[in-house]
Amino acid sequence: MKNPTIVVPLSLALLTGCFSTQCVGATNSLFNGRDLSGWVAMHGGGWTIEDGVIVGRNGTNWTTNPEKSGSWLRSAKEYSNFTLELEYAINARGNSGIFIRSALEKNPAFTGHEMQIVDDHGREPRKSSTGALYDVVAASKNMSRPTGEWNQVRIDCDGPRIQVTMNGEAIIDYRTDRLTRGYIGLQNHDTNAVVRFRNIRITER
């Protein structure tokens, strides 16, 4: 007689298509709070884990040239349609970003998109200010908090549509003509910037 405890999990796996540690429709952590498992460092820069937080320092080689990449940290796998939620904090005069569905080749800010992170609390929104899809569309409001404070970000991607919510306020609703599948990334911009990320979660759909 076959063991029924084997049949039930297999049946559930067949129904849900979930054979890995990340399942479509479930919310999964992209950062375990201990190390960079599930992440790949690209093109230098320094990434450490401090008190359960990812910290980026000593970024290098960033330019506005679409053909060249600087230092960033990318997800181990590609994503298409998802909700990404995280928190970040940036130092005085710091610069960073969140890459959305980027390729490995060339500049990830231009193959996919970069949601810009800058120390610019209280300034008018521009295509290069916090919350913008860099060089494409400005946020409707600059919702960034003062230097060093934690900010909450939610990015929803559904086909060509990208929506960004920051600190509870919807600030971007844009239809892209760029990649709709790619890597999620965290930018390590320059030697002045110190950026922190925590509570990184993704829900695929």
Distance of CA 167 to the CA centre of its chain: 16
Residues 6+ apart with CB under 8 A from 144: 117, 118, 119, 120, 121, 129, 130, 131, 151, 166
Percent of the chain with pLDDT over 90: 88
Q: Using CB atoms within 10 A of its CB, is residue 14 exposed (0-12), middle (13-18) or buried (19+)?
A: exposed
Res. 18 pLDDT band, cuts 50 70 90: low
Domain-wise residue ranges, the chain: 26-204
Say if pTM beats, i.e. exceeds, 0.85: yes
3.40.50.410, 3.30.470.10, 2.60.40.2550, 2.60.120.560: CATH of 26-204 = 2.60.120.560
Mean of per-residue pLDDT scores for the chain: 92
Beta bridge partners of 164: 155, 172
Higher pLDDT, 52 or 15: 52
